[in-house]
Chains A and B, each alone.
Chain A
Amino acid sequence: MDEPLNLVLFSGTDDKLQAAAVLTAGAAALGKPVNVFLQYWALDAFTRAKIGLDHGLAPEAGEAGRTAVDALAKAGQASWAETLRQAKDLGTVDIQACSLSMDLLGLEESDLDPLVDGVEGVTAFYLNAGEGHVVFI
């Protein structure tokens, strides 16, 4: 279990971020290190200003998907941000912002939620990814 799981998050909708948070927390519970690399709209969702907002769902969710997701949340399902916080408490989870996406969105490091550990380029991401799987969400 030494090779890390490497998640590249591109999409910024709540359902995809929730799926990524579940993968992260599961790996952390197994003692597997996780590297999370935030690009584009996923990075936008991790800003202090936006992390607590409603980020919508992927287009395929439709109205029935919206109802199902709302029902889980109402039943007490932890948000993706809370799930990631717990994963970080439990295991080795490093969340990095893509430097290109920082430029794209006009962000400073101080704009990011404390869940984000730092800013790096794609080369550093690959170096840290080692031989582990890379998953793009």
Chain B
Amino acid sequence: MTTATDLQLDARGLNCPMPIVKTAQAIKGLASGQTLEVLATDPGSTKDFEAWSKTTGNLLVEQSVDGGVFRFVLRRK
């Protein structure tokens, strides 16, 4: 069960730190409370998205992994 998000970002195939860089760019386009879904394949993604969420205050509301593809949903603070 996945929730509909306001914006989607496909960062599959991008190496560190580009998934986080693109995420930080994309979330600037959202209003507070809106959500961003990110797909990534970088193996450091889970720890990086957790750290980025913790540091920036943008909430990581969902995360999952399926066949080497990580999926994150972030809510802009």
Contact = CB atoms under 8 A, between A and B. Distances in A.
Interface of A: 1, 22, 25-26, 28-31, 72, 75-78, 83, 86-87, 89-91
A89 B21 CA distance: 10
Nearest to B16: A22
Q: Is the interface of A mostly helix, strand, loop or mixed?
A: helix
Interface of B: 13-18, 20-21, 23-25, 51-52, 55-56
B13 A90 contact: no
Q: Summarize B's interface: helix, strand, loop or mixed.
A: helix
Contact of A26 (B20, B25, B56): B20
Contact of B15 (A1, A30, A77): A77
A91 B25 CA distance: 9
Contact of B21 (A1, A25, A31, A76): A25
B75 to A, nearest CB: 17
